[in-house]
Amino acid sequence: MSRFRMPAAVAALGAGLLFTCVPAASAQSAAPLRALADRAHVRIGTAVDMTALADDSTYRATTGREFSSVTAENVMKWEAVEPQRGAYDWTKADALVRFARQHGQAVRGHTLVWHNQLPGWLTSGVADGSIGAAELRGILRRHIIAEVGHFKGRIHQWDVVNEVFDDDGSPRDSIWLRTLGPSYIADAFRWAHAADPGAKLFLNDYNVEGVNAKSTAYYELARTLRAQGVAVQGFGVQGHLGIQYGFPGDVAGNLARFEELGMETAFTEVDVRMVLPADAAKRATQAAYFRGLLDACLATRHCTSFTVWGYTDRYSWVPGVFTGQGAATLLDEDFTPKPAYAAVRDGLAAGRRAVSGA
């Protein structure tokens, strides 16, 4: 045990956890996370960097060994699959799906409709007025039907619409809202469901871990669309946290209200960043945050997966976006497990019965 004083709130969150670093060798000789997750009736997933998967044998082996679900970090986004209008490139996305099949993994599709990482031909056409509302709606429909149809039967869950609200719960300003109005959300779900009725279709966003204005906006949207018969079947909580901001309140209660609507929930992009340099206290707090999110999932009957947004600091997106921050994943840059890995491992080992009392 490290000799430091943990903040009381974090100590309560992580009660019962032993924050000790697990040597890499012992982690690899013990049961992998996916075996523990299977016993807990939840999928443990990771976002996958396809360049690392191709070039780094340790990354490839670890991805296959530890996880029962994979998400394309970038290669299923619109700019990647249709860089030129009408010219689709599924090469890297197909490679991930093949890898998943070879390793007995489910695949989460990410993402069909977003305001970022759109192809230049689309954004420039909307900006200069050469693509109007009717044409844009047709383009969106064709994109969703083409992508979902291409992977029909091979994608377990789709993030259909991603990040459509601001933190205050107001609709996010985007080319979709400005040009098509709010009906694009229902349309996207209808088109995705028609293209693959077997896939579970999710809303997905960040800063919606607890009960707040943004998550309540999603709750009201989901309730309204489901009442209209739209196949909104899941709510994806990204789970991008920073230890400097505190742990979100009432996470389990937030998940529970979506479950009461008849929806699945999932943590879809979990990482926990910190201001660098890392130290023992920060790593312990990080571990408690990972465990807090996982416990909320395991306490919710239909929380079906817990996905981390990358699992090694070697390939984490965080330092490139948040200046001076990082160390956000379960393993360090040398693939050595941190206390966060132990926290997730122990939480999965405890399982749903221990957490929920079921």
**pLDDT tens sequence across 157-188:** 999 999 999 999 999 999 999 999 999 999 99
What are the phi and psi torsion angles at 175 (to 5°)?
Answer: -60, -30
pLDDT of residue 43: 98
Backbone conformation region of residue 286, classed left if phi is above 0, alpha if psi is from -120 to 50, else beta: alpha
**pLDDT tens sequence across 57-66:** 999 999 999 9
pLDDT of residue 355: 54
In angstroms, the CA 278 to CA 286 distance is 10
**pLDDT tens sequence across 190-207:** 999 999 999 999 999 999
User: % helix / strand / coil in the chain, to the nearest 5?
Assistant: 45, 20, 35
**pLDDT tens sequence across 73-115:** 999 999 999 999 999 999 999 999 999 999 999 999 999 999 9
Sign of the torsion angle spanned by Cα atoms 122, 127, 133, 135: negative
| pLDDT cut 70: percent of the chain above it | 90
pLDDT of residue 30: 84
Identify the DSSP state of 132: -
Per DSSP bridges, beta strands 264-275 and 325-326 are antiparallel
| pLDDT cut 90: percent of the chain above it | 90
- H or E element at residue 158: strand 157-162
The verdict on whether omega for the bond into residue 111 sits within 30 degrees of 0, i.e. cis, is yes
Residue identified by tokens 């719960």 is: 169
Closest-CA residue to 289 (of 312, 306, 265) = 306
Closest-CA residue to 87 (of 122, 49, 113, 56) = 122
Closest-CA residue to 176 (of 123, 216, 219) = 123
The per-residue DSSP string of 38-100 comes to: HHTT-EEEEEE-HHHHHH-HHHHHHHHHH-SEEEESSTTSHHHH-SBTTB---HHHHHHHHHH
pLDDT of residue 28: 47
Over range 46-64, report the average pLDDT.
98
**176-198 burial by CB neighbour count: b if 16+ within 10 A, else e?**
bbebbeeebbbbbbbbbbebbee
Task: Tell me which residues are annotated as active site.
Answer: 163, 269
- Half-sphere exposure (Cβ direction) of 81: Cα atoms closer than 13 Å: 25
Specify the higher pLDDT residue, 16 or 261: 261
Alpha helices by DSSP H, 151-250: 175-180, 183-195, 213-227
Identify the DSSP state of 130: S
Specify the higher pLDDT residue, 268 or 24: 268
pLDDT over 80 (residue 313): yes
Q: How confident is the model at residue 150 (pLDDT cuts 50, 70, 90)?
A: very high
pLDDT of residue 6: 34
Over range 48-71, report the average pLDDT.
98
pLDDT over 80 (residue 9): no
Q: How confident is the model at residue 48 (pLDDT cuts 50, 70, 90)?
A: very high
Over range 278-285, report the average pLDDT.
98
In angstroms, the CA 154 to CA 102 distance is 13
pLDDT over 90 (residue 23): no
Domain map (residue ranges) of the chain:
8-356
Q: How confident is the model at residue 214 (pLDDT cuts 50, 70, 90)?
A: very high
In angstroms, the CA 149 to CA 78 distance is 14
Average pLDDT of every residue of the chain: 92
pLDDT of residue 18: 36
Over range 314-331, report the average pLDDT.
98
Residue identified by tokens 């191709």 is: 54
Which tokens is 238 given? 């990204």
Cβ proximity of 164 and 180 under 8 Å? no
pLDDT of residue 5: 31
pLDDT over 70 (residue 358): no
pLDDT over 70 (residue 27): no
- Half-sphere exposure (Cβ direction) of 329: Cα atoms closer than 13 Å: 24
Cβ proximity of 272 and 232 under 8 Å? no
Q: How confident is the model at residue 22 (pLDDT cuts 50, 70, 90)?
A: very low
Which residue type does 33 have? L
Over range 127-149, report the average pLDDT.
98
pLDDT over 70 (residue 20): no
**Could you say which architecture CATH assigns to the domain 8-356?**
Alpha-Beta Barrel (3.20)
